Amino acid sequence: MIKGEINRIISETIGNLQTKEVFPAFDIPPVVIDCPAEKTHGDYATNISLHIARIIKGKPIEAAEKIVSEIKAQNLRLFKEIEVKEPGFINFFISPAYLQNQIKEILSQKEKFGSSKFGQGKKVNVEFISANPTGPLTLGNGRGGFCGDVLSNVLEKAGFDVTREYYINDRGEQIKKLGHSVIGDEQAVYKGKYIEDLAKKVKDKDPEKAGEKAAKIILEDYIKPTIEEKMGIKFDVWFSEKKLYDKGMVDKTIEEIKKNGFTYESEGALWFKSKSLGDDKDRVLIRKDGNKTYFASDIAYLKDKFERGFGKIVIFLGADHHGYINRLRAATQAMSFDKDSIKTIIMQLVAVWSGEEGDKKLLKMSKREGTAIDLDDLIKELNIDTVRFFFLMRAPNTHLGFDMDLAREQSSKNPVYYVQYAHARINSLLKKAELNAKGKNLELLNHSSELQLIKHLVKFPEVVEDTAGDFQVQRLAQYAAELADCFHKFYEDCRVIDEDKNISEARLSLALAARIVLKNTLDIMGISAPEKM
Q: What is the pLDDT of residue 178?
A: 97
**pLDDT over 90 (residue 370):** no
Query: Please, which residues have CB within 8 angstroms of residue 423's CB and are 6 or more apart in sequence?
Result: 515, 518, 519, 522, 529, 530, 531
Q: What is the pLDDT of residue 354?
A: 79
Confidence of residue 1 (pLDDT cuts 50, 70, 90): confident
Lowest mean pLDDT among 49-63, 169-183, 368-382, 409-423: 368-382
Predicted confidence (pLDDT) per residue in 472-486, tens digit? 999 999 999 999 999
Residue 338 DSSP code: -
Name the 3-class secondary structure at 168. Answer: strand
Predicted confidence (pLDDT) per residue in 268-286, tens digit? 999 999 999 999 999 999 9
Within 10 angstroms of residue 76's Cβ, the number of other Cβ atoms is: 14
Phi/psi for 233 (5° steps) reads -110, 135
Task: Assign 3-class secondary structure to 184-204.
Answer: CCCCCCCCCHHHHHHHHHCCC
Give the chain's domains with CATH numbers.
Answer: 2-94 (3.30.1360.70), 99-117+412-525 (1.10.730.10), 128-246+348-408 (3.40.50.620)
d(CA 325, CA 347): 13
What is the maximum span of the chain, computed from C-alpha positions, in angstroms? 87
Identify each DSSP E strand in 212-311 by its residue range.
237-240, 263-266, 269-272, 283-286
Query: Please, which residues have CB within 8 angstroms of residue 57's CB and are 6 or more apart in sequence?
Result: none
Burial category of 39 from C-beta neighbours within 10 Å (exposed 0-12, middle 13-18, buried 19 and up) = exposed
Side by side, the strands of the sheet bearing 89-94 are: 33-34, 44-46, 89-94, 79-85
**Which residues are bridge partners to 85 per DSSP?**
89
Amino acid at 371: T
Residue 219 DSSP code: I
Predicted confidence (pLDDT) per residue in 45-76, tens digit? 999 999 999 999 999 999 999 999 999 999 89
- Helix (H) or strand (E) holding 126, with range, is strand 123-127
Amino acid at 226: T
Within 10 angstroms of residue 110's Cβ, the number of other Cβ atoms is: 13
Lowest mean pLDDT among 75-84, 144-153, 356-365, 377-386: 356-365
Region 40-44 average pLDDT = 95
Name the 3-class secondary structure at 73. Answer: coil
- Helix (H) or strand (E) holding 345, with range, is strand 342-346
Tell me if 228 sits within 8 A of 149, measured CB to CB.
no
